[in-house]
């Protein structure tokens, strides 16, 4: 069955904190990305109306239509490992226009709510509410670490929910109003609070907002692919969804700053939050009322988390692609976070919030305006070349911003137009290239596993973006930032350098790594020739390594056993052959305890270091929170492996099967 093209992000809209302004690296899928329990519910997705009728650009122009493969819109459940891929029915499944509108419309409000959180929230709390920058950084670190951890949990819960109203709709009905209330509260801290109390208010509402967002967004984007299995109808459904996202983004680029400039910061953000928070709840309730779930999807068995992660990471081409994105994610949220400070304290216009709205509108507007040109270039010159060229504007735009100063408003507008022109290219080229990587995985495994790739991508990039959301604020605080006054030359230089040079540097490094991406148009044709050979029962050759690959079903290990053994590395299984099954439990339990110790140490240090939220906590507590969050997720990962190790000890597997599994997972392209 063909897969419709989609965008994956790390938030409930195409423009989270990691996707703002010129220096985000090659693209930002997901990002939420889209954001995991092995269920694609942990990945947030967006279709594209631009490419609905020309989706074949994701492959070579010569690719036959039946061979087109795109990143599949993530669903919060998948077939059991042994089940064959579902086939599209012969008769098209038509969705009423009202259903498509009801499904896509919530993205208008969801996308609009992302912008003020990504752009305006920090300076609102630092310069209006007077919360120390380090406390704001700490709140963001806690909230985003919590967000990354709850995504896979929500996917697991939604998959297993059984109610008269279905698996998805009850959670959307609860999560949307909860997120809306938290959003309003986030921008309306009580005026009686001192900076310490306001910092605690920010921390609580920030965490609650992302919890509510997870509760509604994961089931929402899991529901979409379940509404129809028809290729064209899915493309249409996700095209409407993306259209609403683009509209919400453009509206939110302008309105929050204009309201703040006209009504004052407190009143402006309050009315924006009330309006779009209410709209979010109403649109999701309309979705719950209008759209019905299909019961035939309810009994699909999700793939297990740990084996899914290991299988994805065996793909060395994916590891290279992921490294490009992670390099860019290290600084991905810096432009959005620091833009208000750059405009206010470096450019120094008379009305900073008004100019922020203008600059955002220029950036996003030119991005969407130039999307058809990038589509044309990708079809004519190839995806890789277009992808690499998109780095050029990202790098040069960021670098140019370092050299502007007070009053250079026109120059900044021109630079942002240039940098924004490649913004949309990064949205569609990333998923298209990722689809080629998944095709390479299919050559080795015989399975389409878009959901597992998207889920891993989402969680990893969410953790990687936390430093760029938090560390710049903590650095400015340590250098003596003071709100609403002329900043010292040291602080002004730090704002310019972090805002411009840091993203430019990571974009340049990511470009260098991306040059080594090996799948060209010709290589991709060979990959598909190999996939077709496997379908006929013939051996195929890996075009990247020259290794001859027997059909996946002829490798001596049945599918269920292979999934179970993938809880462990090839090295661990080799030790089982020499030292016995007890080594599995020892290794898994050891890693679990080490991860828990790191998590506890980070949490304890933060608790001890942050006693008074009215004072700057410094940089180390922010880093400790990030370490604790990553360590906790690793502890959960290894706890699942502990359970598998106990099961293996009770029921050992034949050594011959172990050896066959090790051989099948240790080839040149899949080495663990």
Give one DSSP letter per residue of 409-452, joined into a string. HHHHHHHHHHHHTTHHHHHHHHHHHHHHHHHHHHHHHSS--HHH
Q: How far is CA 179 from CA 33, 215, 260, 483, in A?
A: 19, 9, 22, 29
pLDDT, position 85: 42
65-70: Cβ within 8 A, 24+ apart? 65/2, 66/2, 67/528, 68/2, 69/2, 69/3, 69/435, 69/438, 69/439, 69/442, 69/448, 70/2, 70/3, 70/4, 70/5, 70/6, 70/431, 70/432, 70/435
**Is residue 372 predicted with pLDDT exceeding 50?**
yes
Torsion sign over Cα 166, 169, 170, 171: positive
Residue 549 bridge partners (DSSP): 540
| Per-residue pLDDT reduced to its tens digit, 619-663 | 888 888 888 988 998 999 899 999 999 999 999 998 998 988 888
Crossing angle for the helix pair 97-104 and 106-115, to the nearest 10 degrees: 20
Whole-angstrom distance, CA of residue 34 vs CA of residue 151: 9
Burial class (CB in 10 A: 0-12, 13-18, 19+), 666: middle
Q: How far apart are CA 153 and CA 397, in angstroms?
A: 39
Average pLDDT over residues 434-444: 85
State the pLDDT at residue 301.
Answer: 63
Element (H, E) at 549: strand 548-549
* Mean pLDDT of the 518-539 span: 89
Between 35 and 579, the more confident residue is: 579
> Can you give the pLDDT at residue 666?
66
Q: Using 50, 70 and 90 to split pLDDT, how confident is the model at 436?
A: confident
Least confident of 102-111, 244-253, 445-454: 445-454
Confidence of residue 71 (pLDDT cuts 50, 70, 90): very low
For residues 247 and 107, give the distance between their C-alpha atoms in angstroms, rounded to a whole number: 9
Q: Find, among 131, 264, 265, the residue nearest to 204 by Cα.
A: 131
Separation between Cα atoms, residue 491 and residue 487, nearest integer Å? 6
- H helix or E strand, kind and range, residue 8: strand 7-9
- Angle of helix 450-478 relative to helix 489-496, nearest 10 degrees, comes to 170
Task: Tell me what percent of the residues of the chain surpass a pLDDT of 70.
Answer: 82
What 3-state class would DSSP assign to 9? strand
Query: What is the full DSSP assignment across 348-378?
Result: --SSHHHHHHHHHHHHHHHHHHTHHHHHHHH
Backbone phi, psi, residue 533, to 5°: -65, -45
Beta strand 44-46 with 7-9 is: antiparallel
User: What is the end-to-end Cα distance of the chain in Å, rounded?
Assistant: 30
CB 47 within 8 A of CB 5: yes
CA distances from 497 to 54, 475, 484, 487, 490 (A): 41, 12, 20, 15, 10
Residue 573 near residue 658, CB atoms below 8 Å: yes
pLDDT at 298: 65
Question: What is the rounded CA–CA span in Å between residue 414 and residue 394?
Answer: 13
pLDDT number for residue 442: 85
Q: State residue 56's pLDDT score.
A: 32
pLDDT at 609 over 60: yes
pLDDT beyond 50 at 245: yes
Q: Measured between alpha carbons, how far is 563 from 91 in angstroms, rounded to an integer?
A: 34
- CA max distance for the chain: 75
Count of H-run helices and E-run strands, the chain: 25, 4
Q: What gap in Å lies between CA 466 and CA 474, rounded to an integer?
A: 12
User: Helix axis angle, 371-381 relative to 423-445, nearest 10°?
Assistant: 40
Pick the closest to residue 627 from 651, 600, 650 (CA basis). Answer: 600
Q: Is residue 234 over pLDDT 80?
A: no
Helix (H, G, I), strand (E, B) or coil at 37: coil
Non-local (6+) Cβ contacts of 231 within 8 A are 1, 2, 3, 4, 88
Is residue 314 predicted with pLDDT exceeding 50?
A: yes
pLDDT at 160: 78
For residue 480, is it left (φ>0), alpha (ψ between -120 and 50) or beta?
left
DSSP 516: T
Q: How confident is the model at residue 205 (pLDDT cuts 50, 70, 90)?
A: very high
Mean pLDDT of 406-417: 94
> Helix 169-186 crosses helix 195-227 at what angle (to 10 degrees)?
150
Confidence band of 158 (pLDDT split at 50, 70, 90): confident
Would you say residue 231 has pLDDT above 70? no
Which of the residue ranges 3-12, 242-251, 642-651 has the most confident prediction, judged by mean pLDDT?
A: 642-651
Mean pLDDT to the nearest integer, 31-44: 33
Of the candidate ranges 505-519, 542-556, 574-588, the one whose mean pLDDT is the lowest: 542-556
User: Residue 208 pLDDT > 90, yes or no?
Assistant: yes
pLDDT at 77: 37
pLDDT band at 57 (very low <50, low <70, confident <90, very high): very low
pLDDT band at residue 615 under the 50/70/90 scheme: confident
Mean pLDDT of 56-66: 34
Mean of pLDDT values over 153-161: 80
Q: If 0-12 CB within 10 Å is exposed, 13-18 middle and 19+ buried, where does residue 216 land?
A: buried
Q: Which residues contact 601 (CB under 8 A, 6 or more apart)?
A: 624, 627, 628
């Amino acid at each position: 069955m063909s897969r419709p093209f989609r965008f994956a992000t790390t938030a409930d809209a195409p423009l989270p904190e990691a996707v703002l302004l010129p220096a985000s690296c090659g693209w930002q899928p997901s990002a939420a990305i889209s954001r995991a329990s092995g269920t694609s519910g942990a990945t947030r997705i967006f279709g594209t109306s631009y490419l609905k009728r020309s989706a074949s650009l994701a492959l070579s122009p010569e690719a036959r239509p039946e061979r087109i493969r795109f990143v599949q819109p993530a669903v919060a459940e998948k077939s059991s490992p042994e089940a064959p891929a579902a086939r599209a029915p012969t008769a098209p499944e038509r969705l009423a226009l009202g259903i498509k509108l009801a499904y896509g419309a919530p993205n208008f409000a969801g996308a609009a709510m992302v912008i003020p959180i990504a752009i305006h929230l920090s300076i609102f709390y630092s310069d209006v509410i007077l919360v120390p920058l380090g406390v704001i950084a700490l709140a963001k670190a806690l909230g985003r670490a919590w967000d990354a951890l709850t995504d896979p949990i929500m996917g697991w819960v939604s998959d297993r929910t059984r109610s008269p109203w279905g698996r998805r709709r009850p959670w959307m009905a609860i999560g949307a109003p909860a997120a809306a209330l938290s959003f309003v509260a986030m921008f309306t801290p009580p005026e009686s609070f001192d900076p310490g109390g306001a910092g605690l208010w920010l921390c609580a509402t920030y965490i609650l907002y992302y919890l509510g967002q997870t509760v509604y967004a994961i089931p929402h984007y899991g529901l979409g692919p379940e509404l129809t299995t028809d290729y064209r109808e899915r493309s249409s459904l996700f095209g409407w969804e993306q259209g609403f996202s683009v509209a919400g983004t453009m509206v939110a680029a302008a309105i929050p700053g204009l309201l703040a400039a006209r009504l004052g910061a407190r009143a402006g953000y309050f009315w924006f939050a009330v309006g779009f928070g209410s709209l979010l709840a109403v649109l999701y309730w309309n979705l719950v009322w209008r759209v019905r779930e299909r019961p035939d999807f309810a009994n699909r068995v999700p793939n297990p988390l740990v084996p899914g992660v290991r299988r994805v990471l065996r793909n060395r081409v994916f590891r290279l692609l992921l490294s490009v994105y992670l390099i860019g994610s290290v600084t991905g949220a810096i432009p959005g976070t620091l833009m208000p400070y750059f405009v206010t304290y470096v450019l120094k216009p008379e009305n900073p919030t008004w100019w922020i709205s203008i600059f955002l509108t220029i950036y996003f507007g030119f991005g969407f305006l130039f999307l058809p040109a990038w589509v044309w270039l990708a079809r004519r010159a190839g995806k890789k070349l277009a992808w690499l060229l998109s780095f050029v504007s990202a790098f040069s735009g960021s670098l140019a911003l370092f050299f502007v100063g007070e009053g250079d408003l026109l120059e900044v507008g021109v630079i942002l137009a240039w940098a924004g022109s490649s913004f949309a290219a990064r949205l569609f080229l990333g998923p298209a290239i990722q689809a080629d990587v998944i095709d390479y995985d299919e050559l080795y495994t015989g399975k389409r596993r878009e959901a597992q790739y998207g889920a891993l991508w989402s969680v990893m990039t969410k953790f990687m973006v936390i430093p760029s959301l938090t560390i710049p604020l903590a650095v400015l605080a340590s250098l003596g930032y003071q709100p609403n006054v002329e900043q010292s030359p040291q602080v002004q230089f730090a704002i310019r350098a972090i805002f411009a040079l840091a993203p430019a540097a990571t974009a340049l490094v990511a470009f260098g790594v991306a040059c080594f991406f090996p799948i060209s148009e010709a290589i991709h044709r060979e990959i598909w020739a190999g996939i077709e050979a496997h379908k006929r029962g013939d051996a195929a050759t890996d075009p990247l390594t020259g290794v001859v690959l027997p059909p996946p079903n002829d490798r001596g290990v049945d599918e269920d056993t292979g999934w179970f053994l993938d809880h462990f590395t090839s090295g661990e299984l080799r030790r089982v052959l020499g030292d016995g099954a007890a080594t599995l439990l020892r290794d898994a339990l050891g890693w679990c305890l080490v991860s828990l110790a790191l998590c506890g140490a980070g949490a304890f240090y933060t608790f001890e270091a942050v006693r008074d939220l009215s004072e700057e906590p410094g940089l180390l507590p922010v880093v400790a929170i990030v370490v604790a969050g990553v360590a906790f997720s690793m502890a959960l990962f290894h706890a699942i492996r502990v359970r598998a190790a106990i099961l293996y000890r009770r029921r050992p597997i034949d050594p011959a099967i172990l050896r066959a599994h090790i051989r099948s997972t240790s080839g040149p392209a899949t080495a663990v």
